[in-house]
Amino acid sequence: MFLHRRTPQLPTREEALRGRPAPEFTVPSRHTVLGNSLLGPYPEGMEVADFALGCFWGAERKFWQTDGVWTTLVGYQGGYTENPAYEEVCSGLTGHTEAVRVVYDPAVVTYPELLKLFWESHDPTQGFRQGNDVGTQYRSALYTHSPAQAAAAAASREAYQKVLTASGHGGITTEILPADDRTFWPAEPAHQQYLDKNPAGYCGIGGTGVSCPVGVAPAES
């Protein structure tokens, strides 16, 4: 992934690249590991959740390895540029994160359990970076698809902050925003299931070593 030496700063909507009216590529039809559709339609009863936790290559693998996850795809979310390209996102001029869309069966894996995986798989206190990966696209974020997801995400952030603070870590910088207001743009075919196609490829994902409270219940006062 690209490394940025300057201090990262999010662009305003006016400063962001304009993008394009349509993507310049076609997203593959099937997940290379799970075999299911990337873009849908998804089976009845499946739910969707969006996570940003650094380089999406390693982040996606964390989720596709989880029981109950039906499919995953990587993309760009949280910014302004329409149909952005990878190089544009890496420039810091689109405002997007590298995100993973997770389609899952809530009868097998719950959203709070996916939140636990999210928190434990990266360091949510680092701002515009994850480890050696520096840039606005590497910031931590949760893009929610329902009021219930939004409430669970906020409660989990509060609960995890308590255990992080007790372990000597700083404040969580994770943004929580509604997915409806933050379009998810699928990434180029080469980035989909990248670490399945390139098993020895780069993975910058790593957590704090601090366990998130099981069940991610609302933090006690």
Strands annotated E in the chain: 47-53, 69-77, 97-104, 129-130, 133-134, 140-144, 175-178, 185-186
Show Cβ contacts of residue 10 under 8 Å, excluding neighbours closer than 6 positions.
Answer: 92, 95, 136
> Could you list the active site residues?
55
How far is it, in rounded angstroms, from Cα 2 to Cα 25? 21
Neighbours of 213 (CB within 10 A): 17
| Residue 133, phi-psi category: left (phi > 0), alpha (psi -120 to 50), beta (remainder) | beta
